[in-house]
Structures are given as C-alpha cells and as structure tokens.
Amino acid sequence: MPTDRPSYWAVIPATGTGQRMQADRPKQYLPLGSKTILEQTLDSLLSYDKIDGAVLILNKEDDYWPGLNYKSEKPLLLCVGGEERHHSVYHGLQLLAEQQIENCTVLIHDAVRPFVSHTDLDNLLEAVAGNPNGAILATPVADTLKLSDDFSSIVSTHPRDHLWRAFTPQAFALNIILDALKSVIGDNLQITDDASAMELAGYKPRLINSDSRNIKITHPQDLRLAELILCAKSH
C-alpha cells in the first residue's frame, strides 16, 4: 500500500477485563450515551480525517464485540491480544506491519478514552512529523505529590515541576515502536505505557498538552464524569 503522504493508523488495545469498574462486563462495553464506550472511542478516532484505519486488539475470550455489529467506512483490522497490554499492542503492530503500509505512524490509544479531540490529534501529529522520538498526549501534574509507606502514611512530599500525567494516543513511527516493544518483550521487562518502551530504547518522546476531557474511564465515578462530558458535548 504505497503512499506519497504519511499514513496514520490507530491501534487500540481493548483486552481489559475491567475489574476495577466492578461491572458485569469489560468496561469498554459499558454503555455511554446511545453506544458503548468502545464505540464512542472508535467514532472519535475514525472520524478524524487524517486517520486511515484502525487495528482493534481483542481479548481471546471476548464475546461482546461481535454483538456490536460496528460499522466503519475505514478499514478496521481485528487481532487477538497477548498476556499483558504491551504484548497485545505488539500483536496489533505486527498485524499492521504485515499490511506493508509505507511511511506509517501509529496512534496507540486506550479503548476507554472516548473523548480525544481532533484538535489534540492535530497537535500530536504535528509534533510527531519527522520526529523519530514520537510524541504523546499528556497533562502537567497540578496536585501536590505525596509518597506513602505501606500504611498510607506520608513519607515525603515531591515537587511537581516537570511532572506530567501520560495520556493517549501515543504516536510513533510503526517500525520504531515495533522494535522498541520487541526489545521490551525479549528482555521480559515491565512497562505501563508505550512511551516507556521508547524511553528504554533511548528515545525521548515529546509531551503534548492534552484537553482535560481526554479522560480514561477506569472507576465508576469516571463513567459518571464521562456521561456529563458527553451531555455537554451534545448541547
């Protein structure tokens, strides 16, 4: 699939079981408005004109996706995830690499962040253009940080200067992030986001300030906040 312009694909790991949500199904399949959280997330990404398609990574025991009957005018590739999140992302990137898309940049995004804005995506892609380090959406830490002991007592206070909360999407050249994750998996390392793999490989991804509504729905109170955001967006 040769192209003269950069190609942008979303990669969405949706393998979580949502234990912290205390629901009867994985949190990505909980209702948000007239759709599920996952459908809202896919709509946000696939409606962005620069994204050419998406890879959705599902749990091997996922019984919910087929029932959604989700339709997209853009290509939507499916694959099965792995043992942990970074294994799942690696599977998705491998599938995308098999498509032989030239000049491909991936936007790796949490399935339960349904409100990423197109303005944020514009800023992210501008930052990643020609930048082998990649870039991620994030927001500066605004609260005072405390380190606790095992009994939830304060041990010390840490300055918040230069500290950021990492969001998604996290955007990287496909071949570079694929190699970085391959090294993480080969060395049996533990990471909590894809930028960490890039950092371990010696890269320095840029931090792009994100809209605060780009929330990750993890706990029940997050879903209530998401409902308020969705209601505000519809008015």
CATH of the domain at 106: 3.90.550.10
pLDDT digit string (tens) for 46-99?
Answer: 999 999 999 999 999 999 999 999 999 999 999 999 999 999 999 999 999 999
Q: Is 153 among the domain residues?
A: no
CA distance 218 to 10: 21
Q: Is 101 among the domain residues?
A: yes
Q: Is 150 among the domain residues?
A: no
Structurally, the chain folds into a number of domains equal to: 1
pLDDT for position 215: 98
CA distance 103 to 94: 15
Q: Is 144 among the domain residues?
A: no
pLDDT for position 1: 44
pLDDT for position 122: 98
CA distances for 111 relative to 49, 66, 123, 158, 227, angstroms? 19, 16, 20, 31, 16
- Range of the structural domain that residue 193 is part of: 7-134+166-233
pLDDT for position 2: 47
Residues of the chain with pLDDT under 70: 1-4, 18
Six token digits for residue 44: 């946000």
pLDDT for position 19: 75
pLDDT for position 4: 65
Q: Is 151 among the domain residues?
A: no
Residue ranges with strand state E in the chain: 7-14, 31-32, 35-36, 51-58, 76-80, 104-108, 135-140, 145-148, 154-158, 164-173, 206-209
pLDDT for position 103: 94
pLDDT for position 234: 80
Q: Is 122 among the domain residues?
A: yes
Q: Is 158 among the domain residues?
A: no
Q: Cis bond leading into 169, ω under 30°?
A: yes
| CA torsion through residues 158, 160, 166, 170, sign | negative
φ, ψ of residue 130 to 5 degrees: the values are 70, 10
